[in-house]
Amino acid sequence: MLTRRTLIAAAACAPFAPRRVWAATSYEAGGMRIDTVSDGYLTLPGNFILGHMPRDELLPILERYGQSADQLTPPCNVTLLRDGTNTVLFDTGAGPDFQASAGRLSEALDVLGVSVDDITHVVFTHAHPDHLWGVLDDFDEPLFVNAQHMIGRAEFDYWTDPDTVNTIDETRTTFAVGAARRLNTLAGQLRLLEDGEDVLPGVVARLTPGHTPGHMAFEIAASDPVLVLGDSIANHHVAFERPEWLSGNDQDMETAAQTRVALLERIVHEKMILIGYHLSDGGMGRAERNADGYRFVPEI
């Protein structure tokens, strides 16, 4: 059963920012529970994501969804899986060093009665700051001390390559420096995943490249299969309505668009529940076809 639970909501601290929702959605099936919890939200210049899109077609879409072309404030939804044995986090949020409006994961977990010591596995979709930087504490030590940490091999190799900081777009140089520091700190504890590999029983890694070179989604077996998307579908508006459009937040924009199109086709065909890191309303729901593309349906 997919349900919506708003446990604690606070007014946003910035104009146009979404309300803070500590625990937004949950899904229960066969003794397993999946929650999405909020790490906060980001503030991004609209052009960073929307700059490559045809403006005359883009603006009506944004207007329908109440979005500004000048500034976007996407939520950050971290996924928590509990099956009675394992307590698994998919991504760890931004931590204190990225944006002041993010990095609130520990507070959100507290609402669910989960401590950082309870986490048995940390699984990264990719190594961007808002997904990885929350993995270390204030002393640059691993925060989730009892957890096994996992990331895709291609993703690890890319961000730990000394040449990446010199070859990546200059707007992402800090991403490269921050990722390399954190991944190198964790290197002795990391399990590197291949496409199609079992992460845990019932959880399979799926390579979904484009947003980053080794980005992964994670498929969770349940009565309705669940797909943790990370940023492979990175917003609830244009990414659904026009998945083929190039998006500036993707490192390889053409590959990312191909990945989005294929994912949405599969999600609809297989009637999957999806969880998106930056989708609205807690990020958990379904995709449905509409006249020109798809739409995100945040609750059943």
Using one digit for the tens of pLDDT, what is the confidence trace for 16-27? 444 455 556 889
- pTM equals 0.93
* pLDDT mean across residues, the chain: 92
Using one digit for the tens of pLDDT, what is the confidence trace for 51-63? 999 999 999 999 9
What does the pLDDT read at residue 22? 56
What does the pLDDT read at residue 189? 87
| Helix runs in 100-227, H state only | 105-111, 129-132, 153-160, 164-167, 173-186
Measured distance CA(38)–CA(106) in Å, rounded: 10
User: What is the full DSSP assignment across 46-102?
Assistant: HHHHHTTS-HHHHHHHHHHTT--SSEE--EEEEEEEE-SS-EEEE----GGGS-TTB
Q: Evaluate if residue 7 carries a pLDDT over 60.
A: no
Using one digit for the tens of pLDDT, what is the confidence trace for 219-270? 999 989 999 999 999 999 999 999 999 999 999 999 999 999 999 999 999 9
Measured distance CA(179)–CA(279) in Å, rounded: 23
What does the pLDDT read at residue 12? 39
Model confidence at 1, in pLDDT bands (50, 70, 90)? low
SS3 2: strand
Model confidence at 14, in pLDDT bands (50, 70, 90)? very low
Residue 185 phi, psi dihedral angles, 5° rounding:
-65, -35
Class of domain 2-294: alpha beta
Closest-CA residue to 281 (of 5, 15, 42, 59): 5
Measured distance CA(216)–CA(153) in Å, rounded: 10
Whether 83 contacts 31, CB under 8 Å: yes
Whether 281 contacts 25, CB under 8 Å: yes
User: What are the CA-CA distances from residue 191 to residues 168, 172, 204, 283 (Å)?
Assistant: 25, 25, 14, 27
214: its two tokens: 């080794």
Q: Residues 192-217: what's their mean pLDDT?
A: 98
- Would you kindly state where each structural domain of the chain is located, as residue ranges? 2-294
Q: Evaluate if residue 67 carries a pLDDT over 70.
A: yes
Closest-CA residue to 70 (of 86, 84, 59): 59
What does the pLDDT read at residue 19? 47
Using one digit for the tens of pLDDT, what is the confidence trace for 152-204? 999 999 999 999 999 999 999 999 999 999 999 999 889 999 999 999 999 99
Q: Residues 110-133: what's their mean pLDDT?
A: 96
